[in-house]
Amino acid sequence: MSTHISNVRPDPDQVLVDIADYVLNYEIKSELAYETARNCLIDTLGCGLEALEYPACRKLLGPIVPGTVVPNGAKVPGTQFQLDPVQAAFNIGAMIRWLDFNDTWLAAEWGHPSDNLGGILATADWLSRNAVAAGKPPLTMRQVLTGMIKAHEIQGCIALENSFNRVGLDHVVLVKVASTAVVAEMLGLNRDEIINAVSLAWVDGQSLRTYRHAPNAGSRKSWAAGDATSRAVRLALIARTGEMGYPSVLSAKTWGFYDVSFKGQPFKFQRPYGSYVMENVLFKISFPAEFHSQTAVECAMQLHQQMAAQGKRAEDIRKITIRTHEACIRIIDKKGPLNNPADRDHCIQYMVAVPLIFGHLTASDYEDDFARDPRIDALRDKIECVEDPAFTRDYHDPDKRSIANALTVEFADGSRLGEVVCEYPIGHKRRREEGIPLLEAKFRTNLARQFPARQQNRILDVSLDQRRLEAMPVHEYVDLYVI
């Protein structure tokens, strides 16, 4: 006996509706959110400028067809490229994520919400240039900051209670969804069209985490977010044509995202969309390292100084114990050969060994030439991670959101150094007052990598002034970064 399948078109899934209503109607009133978004903007662009020093990144940039120039196209900071918004989004997104030095959000799912800037800035710049060419007012950087706050919020609020990594999916699915929603609103889509656009993002087959984990860790993790945010721009543009969406893309039996990719479980939500995520986002200020290791690296830097004061060297170490949280062990506790920079910046043993030996951890410390120093692997073999359940609880506590690590060093002569504990990294909201001057210093350093002093000062004059930045047309701000 056959079972008839209903072909009645369902109402859109509530998740889609909530996202569309948020990007269309929610007014951001938090001054803290806008101030944090400005700091996030300059930090993220600075990360992209540093990445331009790496040939592995630069080779992926530019138009798909060499020599292509798009009239009134979006410009790529630090380059001479002027591209269509889809390819510009890929360029900007790949740059800012390349060195694993932009912001971080840690919850049931991890991620880097500033990855969305690729699609947001490319689209805003393209729209602004075309508006001016047509005699219309351009978009302002206030609109870019608003888009950043909302993209952070969509990605981060879904991530709070829903773990995509536990089903093998990469967190860039949330970049695709958040960027699609924000870019769709920026393009002027109505409510139904935004719902359609977001449904198109969910119906895509989503990226696997294969490239983030042993034994396959590799450089796709550095351009995966660029791929996602550029796909978002493409899908929003498709939806702008009136292309249909798929209202029960999440909940449809058998064929929907929940059944196909999420073990049949619907999403859970801890809080409504507002500006919580931007206000609480984590900045990577001191070290280009996977965020679960940031406090461990801070501890290692302190221990390096203590060892130097006592005349101890890495060769004198018998054992290092890292007391840590569960997510750290699951993601970056790694033994065996490390095959490339992407492999090394996701290995806590490597990220602790380098500062213990040398007293620093920079992006170049992950490169092959540096990693050949035999002392690094010798010390890695002596490092053991153990979970502290209290650290794991505090990691998930919404009132704490700690990323705690504690290091103990034991020497071959039987002596040891007292355990060094760090609960909150320098980029945490609880250390903002301490961190923002260092974030600005990081930005200045990254500007100096690409621009002469006069151009650096023009960028700084606007970027460090909230009111001036918010009022500036997007294309004029982006032009400050053109070489």
Query: Domain extents for the chain?
Result: 14-283, 291-425
- pLDDT, residue 2, reads 54
Rounded Cα distance, 178 and 27, in Å: 17
Q: 91: pLDDT confidence band, cut at 50, 70 and 90?
A: very high
pLDDT tens-digit readout, 228-283: 999 999 999 999 999 999 999 999 999 999 999 999 999 999 999 999 999 999 99
Residue 1 has pLDDT above 90, yes or no: no
CA 101, chain centre distance (Å): 8
Exposure letters 408-436 (e unless 16+ CB within 10 A, then b): bbebeeeeebeebebbbbbbbeeebeebb
* Alpha-carbon distances of 287 from 30, 89, 293, 334, 402, rounded to whole Å: 29, 25, 9, 19, 17
Indicate if the pLDDT at residue 218 is higher than 90: yes
Q: In the 8-state DSSP scheme, what is residue 211?
A: G
Q: What is the per-residue pLDDT for 7?
A: 84
How far apart are alpha carbons 41 and 446 in whole angstroms?
A: 13
pLDDT digits (tens, 9 = 90+) for 360-406: 999 999 999 999 999 999 999 999 999 999 999 999 898 888 999 99
The answer for residues whose C-beta is within 8 angstroms of residue 421's C-beta and 6 or more apart is: 299, 323, 404, 405, 406
Structure tokens at 126: 């393209």
Spatial distance between the Cα atoms of 56 and 368, rounded to a whole number of angstroms? 13
Tell me the per-residue pLDDT of 176-212, one tens digit each, with 9 for 90 and over: 999 999 999 999 999 999 999 999 999 998 999 999 9
Q: Considering only residues 168 and 400, tell me which one the structure prediction assigns the higher pLDDT.
A: 168
Task: Please give the C-alpha separations between residue 160 and each of 100, 164, 174, 317, 475, in angstroms, as whole numbers.
Answer: 21, 11, 12, 39, 34
- At residue 8, the pLDDT reads 87
pLDDT score of 131: 99
Residue 386 β-bridge partners: 323
Torsion angle, alpha carbons of 181, 187, 192, 193, to 10:
-90
Computed from CA positions of residues 179, 182, 188, 190, in that sequence, does the dihedral angle turn out positive or negative?
Answer: positive
**CATH pick for 291-425 out of 3.40.50.1970, 2.60.120.430, 3.30.1330.120, 2.40.30.10:** 3.30.1330.120
- Mean predicted confidence (pLDDT) in 297-319: 97
At 3 the pLDDT is: 62
Q: What is the pLDDT of residue 6?
A: 80
**Residue 5 pLDDT:** 76
Q: What is the pLDDT of residue 236?
A: 99
Would the pTM of this model clear 0.85, i.e. be above it? Answer: yes
pLDDT at 214: 85
Q: Counting beta carbons within 10 angstroms of the beta carbon of residue 55, is it exposed (0 to 12), middle (13 to 18) or buried (19 or more)?
A: exposed
Evaluate the omega torsion of the peptide bond into residue 288 and state whether it is cis, within 30 degrees of 0.
Answer: no
β-bridge partners, 83: 74
Give me the residue label for tokens 């536990």: 166
Average per-residue pLDDT for the chain: 97
Give the model's pLDDT for residue 432. 93
What are the two backbone dihedrals, phi and then psi, of residue 8, each rounded to the nearest 5 degrees? -70, 125
pLDDT in tens, 125-164: 999 999 999 999 999 999 999 999 999 999 999 999 999 9
Report the pLDDT averaged over residues 213-220.
Answer: 92
Assign 437 a pLDDT band (cuts: 50, 70, 90). very high
| 454-480 pLDDT, tens digit each | 999 999 999 999 999 999 999 999 999
CATH 1.10.4100.10 is the classification of domain 14-283: yes
Q: Tell me which residue has tokens 């798909």.
A: 64
